[in-house]
Structures are given as C-alpha cells and as structure tokens.
Amino acid sequence: MKRILVIGAGRSATALIRYLLEHAAQYQWHVRVGDLDAELAKAKVAGFATASALYFNIEDQEQARLEIGQADLVISLLPARFHIKAAHVCLELQKDLFTASYISGEMKALAAEVSDRGLLFLNECGLDPGLDHMTAMAALDQVRSVPQAHIHSFKSYTGGLVAPESDNNPWHYKFTWNPRNVVLAGRQTAQFMRDGKYKYIPYHRLFTRLEEIEVDGYGKFEGYANRDSLQYRGLYGLQDIDTMIRGTLRRPGFSEAWNVFVQLGLTDDSYVLEGLASMTYRQFVNTFLYHHPSKSIEEKLCDYLNIPPDGVIMQKLSWLGIFKDENIGMTVGSPAQVLQHLLERKWGLAAHDKDMIVMQHQISYSAGSEQKDLLMSLVSLGDDQDQTAMAKTVGWPLAIAAKLRLTDQLQDSGVVVPVTPLYYKPILKELEQLGVQFIEQEY
C-alpha cells in the first residue's frame, strides 16, 4: 500500500482528492488529507475507506516530519510560500513533492540535492501554470517535427471565467478563484515581444492594451498581457522567436471598466485608508477624485477618466453599487481590500453557478515557403460548485502525475516543470479521457 499525503484541502483540492480517492482501491493507495481546518479535510474524504483526514500545520515541524515520514508522495496545495517548508522536510526524509505553483527561487536552489537523492520535486503541474506548459509544448513539438518549420509567433491566453449558462451580470465575470489575486492581478510591468521588438506595459496601461480572441462556440474574449512572457522563451525553447505573449482572458468590455479601478487607485494594496470605519462606498470613490465645489461624484469620475456618462462602463460601475451611500462595513483596510469586499458581494458564485476555463494557444510558423497558423483552444466547464472547471484543471494534472509516479511510469528526478513529453504525453492523454481536450485548427 502506497500512502499519498495531500496538504491543503481548499477549493482547488477538491477534484484532485476525488481523483485520488476514486483510484485508491485500484492502486492500493491510502490518501491522507491534512488541513488547518480538520473538518474541511474530513469532508473531502468522507465515505472513502482508503482515506484519512487530519488537522495539519506545516509550521509544526514535529507533525510535518511524522506525516511526511509516513508518506510515499506529498502533494502540497498550500499557499505557494509554504511549499518550501514541505520541501525541506521531503528532502530530509527522501520523499517526492508535487505542487501546482510557480517554482520559486528557493525551490530551484534545492535542485542539486534533490537530483542527488533521486527524488522528484514536480512544480507548475496545475492549470496555469501546468496545463498551459504541457499543451504549449505538445503543440510546439508537433510543429517542430514539420520539416523546415520555423516558429515566429507564440501567443497563449488563459482565463478563469463564469460558464455561459451562469453569466448573468454586466461584467460577464464572477470570482471562480481567490478574489484577492483577481483584484491584484497584473500589478507588475508586463513584458513580451511583438514582431521582433521588446514591449513593456506598465500596470496602469495594461487594461487598455487588449487583443481580441475568439473561441469557436464560445464567442469573443479579450486578452491582456500577463507578467513576464519573455522568460518562457527559454522554458519553451523559443529563444529566437519574434512574437511571444502570454495573456489573461476576460469577456469583451471587462477591461475598460476594470481600468476605472486601476486609474482611480482602487487596486492599491500598499497603504491603509484613513476614516474607513465611517466611510460609504460613495465616499470611498470620492476619496480618489479631485475636489469640485458643485460637480457630482459621477460627473467628476466621467470627466477625470474621460468616460461617457451613459455608457456601458458607468452601467457596470453602477451595477456594483460603488456610487451608493451605503456604509462599507470595514474598519481597517487598503483600497484593494475595500474593492474586494464589494466585489465579493456581487461577483460571488451562486449555488447553481458553473465556472469555465478557457485557454487558447496561437502559433504561427513557416515551413519552407508556407505560412501556417495553428490554433489550439480548450474550454472546460464546471460540473457543480465542488467539481469546478478550475478545480478539475488544477487538480487532475497533479493527480495524474502522482498516479504515474506511484506506478513507476514517471522516471525522473530533480526540481522540474512538466515541459517534456515524459510528462505531457501521458497527462494530456488521460485528461482527454476525462473530457479536458484541446480543439486544434490549422489554417
């Protein structure tokens, strides 16, 4: 019997844990799920004999050693900053560690030791990062196998959105993952390449520089550039490419309205607001506008940001209630925290709502004298509130990788990211069987 220790039983762990539990009898696994919220952990394994749940605190060294010591493989779904603590114990006790998070500098620094001991620390094996890498590399390797192929453009967009059947607000957006990360998204200069030229977009301009993306059967989206796309040239073997952009998807019209928050400074998380306890949403907005003896807050906003007073942007803002003279109900907070507080009331998923993951890779290449474009699109819809598209696309790649490792089908060691066929072939194959599938169009 092999023991799998899953630490972190939050929202994104649901599909992962269910996959492991459903395969536990077949492969003789014991699935042990630990979380600071023991009840949550228990609920996730309820009804399965091959599983156990516990209160688990990664900061408790003694407990971490005991539990990791008894495991054959550790999967960490804790917030990213805690992975390194698990990593140190795993290294000491010679256990494999899998995560869905970006590989950190600290994690990279363990590479030689991890390799020496024949261990596998697999990172970035979720959705984004994860599925994006694997599908990109599958597509790129396919193109590279074409004689004389020269890839000159790679664009890739991903979005966590609400499913069309649950899309019933003017923003066409709901929170399907960590709201704080959504509010703070993009607060870093976007770096990419376009037609052989380096391009940089500072945060305050990001939501005005959009690309239109279309996905068959799902309509139009808009994409804004996402952090540092340049570093992926090395990871994907595209050092001499002319266009390299990774971006985030929203429904059309979202970004021009979100840009209002950015322009006002409502997404700033660097300081605490004065006088918040007695502040209304209307006063909150006015705090970021200039003083005027007679103009209304709506007039000042439209003048300041050059927005039509009766247009779709103001409709979106009004729908959120930011012009209401209603107490915010917080005592301490940054502008970003106030905005999040408001958005959570309006953008929360209802019980029956379903989410949707959309991913599209656009590859342009030449083969001899021919110019070709390859379009790969994926749409994954949530089943319900638990088996969300987000949970499935984050959790399944990790679960499949764990299965491969425990059944000796993943012979590798080191601190790695899944960008080679060793990973993407079996993982994408099984994801296809699970209904997570890219549609390929060449033209």
Q: Which residues bind a second copy (CB under 8 A)?
A: 188-189, 191, 194-195, 197-202, 204-205, 209, 230, 263-265, 268, 270-271, 273-275, 283, 286-288, 290-291, 335
R_g over Cα of the chain: 23
Q: How far is the CB of 169 from a second copy (least distance, A)?
A: 27
Distance CA 260, CA 305 (A): 7
By beta-carbon proximity to a second copy, the closer residue of 168 and 327 is: 327
Is residue 38 within 8 A of residue 7, CB to CB? The reply is no
Q: How far is the CB of 200 from a second copy (least distance, A)?
A: 6
By beta-carbon proximity to a second copy, the closer residue of 272 and 439 is: 272
By beta-carbon proximity to a second copy, the closer residue of 31 and 213 is: 213
Q: How far is the CB of 108 from a second copy (least distance, A)?
A: 19
Q: How far is the CB of 289 from a second copy (least distance, A)?
A: 8
Distance CA 400, CA 19 (A): 8
Q: How far is the CB of 332 from a second copy (least distance, A)?
A: 14
By beta-carbon proximity to a second copy, the closer residue of 252 and 265 is: 265
By beta-carbon proximity to a second copy, the closer residue of 273 and 431 is: 273
Q: How far is the CB of 274 from a second copy (least distance, A)?
A: 5
By beta-carbon proximity to a second copy, the closer residue of 102 and 177 is: 102
Is residue 86 within 8 A of residue 68, CB to CB? The reply is yes
By beta-carbon proximity to a second copy, the closer residue of 215 and 338 is: 338
Q: How far is the CB of 192 from a second copy (least distance, A)?
A: 10
> What CA–CA distances, in Å, run from 73 to 76, 95, 113, 407?
10, 6, 17, 12
Q: How far is the CB of 300 from a second copy (least distance, A)?
A: 12
By beta-carbon proximity to a second copy, the closer residue of 257 and 400 is: 257
Closest CA to 244 of 208, 191, 189: 191
Q: How far is the CB of 359 from a second copy (least distance, A)?
A: 23
Q: How far is the CB of 234 from a second copy (least distance, A)?
A: 12
Taking every pair of Cα atoms in the chain, the longest distance, rounded to a whole number of angstroms, is: 75
Q: How far is the CB of 216 from a second copy (least distance, A)?
A: 26
By beta-carbon proximity to a second copy, the closer residue of 51 and 206 is: 206
3-state SS string for the chain: CEEEEEECCCHHHHHHHHHHHHHHHHHCEEEEEEECCHHHHHHHHCCCCCEEEEECCCCCHHHHHHHHHHCCEEEECCCHHHHHHHHHHHHHHCCEEEECCCCCHHHHCCHHHHHHCCCEEECCCEECCEHHHHHHHHHHHHHHCCCCEEEEEEEEEEEEEECHHHCCCCCCCCCCCCHHHHHHCCCCCEEEEECCEEEEECHHHHCCCEEEEEECCCEEEEEEECCECCCHHHHHCCCCCCEEEEEEEECCCHHHHHHHHHHHCCCCCCCCCCCHHHCEHHHHHHCCCCCCCCCCHHHHHHHHHCCCCCCHHHHHHHHHCCCCCCECCCCCCCHHHHHHHHHHHHHCCCCCCCEEEEEEEEEEEEECCEEEEEEEEEEEECCCCCCCHHHHHHHHHHHHHHHHHHCCCCCCCEEECCCCHHHHHHHHHHHHHCCCCEEEEEC
By beta-carbon proximity to a second copy, the closer residue of 244 and 358 is: 244
By beta-carbon proximity to a second copy, the closer residue of 206 and 357 is: 206
